[in-house]
Amino acid sequence: MNIAEWFRRHYVLVLVLIFLAVVNVFFYFVNPDVIVDYVGVKSSYTITFVIATIGGLSTFTGPVLFTTIATFAGGGSNPLLLGIIGGMGIFISDSIFFHLTQLGYKHVPENWEKWLDRIKIFMQKYPRWLLLVFVYLYISFTPLPNDILMLALVFGGYLYRQVVFVLLAGSLSIALVTAYLGVLWL
């Protein structure tokens, strides 16, 4: 397969990557004050919520979310309000992904069951509270995507009601940390 054929087959991926690169370069070179002045403080909260809600559903859009929160906070938006709004958006997107994973788990092919049982057995070796602390720390202090974590929780046999408060606390924490770091750095 030559390069032109590969681009024709994967043009959506290439366009998404180009878009994300352009947005990140834009946020890097444009002063946050200019962005907030152009968008407006009230609109920055709406934009943050939309990006957080949509951004958490994809591995590729996470960097744009954290860049947006830091930029708006550094540009003059209230970091506490921005963190709460962004955290709620992240929580909503993680909750949606968790429920979609639960629905998909019911339709897993039989040849995958042995592999998924290993994940469940591995997760059952540790006390539930320890895994929930790990989940909180992972969500709160790493900008890594939560998709794989949601898959592991569902495959490990966790119910939504067992992880909902950890997801909420972690989502709020990462958004608040990002907002306040944006104030300090920008």
pLDDT tens-digit series, residues 127-170: 999 999 999 999 998 878 888 888 889 988 899 999 999 999 99
pLDDT at 160 (0 to 100): 94
- CA gyration radius for the chain? 19
Judged against a pLDDT cut of 90, whether residue 16 lies above it is answered with: no
Do you know the residue count of the chain?
186
The Cα 117–Cα 43 span in angstroms is 46
For residue 126, give every residue at least 6 positions away whose Cβ sits within 8 Å of its Cβ, in sequence order, or none.
none
Could you tell me the pTM of the whole model? 0.77
- Helices in 40-159 by DSSP H: which ranges? 41-55, 62-74, 79-105, 110-124, 128-141, 147-155
For residue 173, give every residue at least 6 positions away whose Cβ sits within 8 Å of its Cβ, in sequence order, or none.
87, 136, 139, 140, 141
pLDDT at 3 (0 to 100): 80
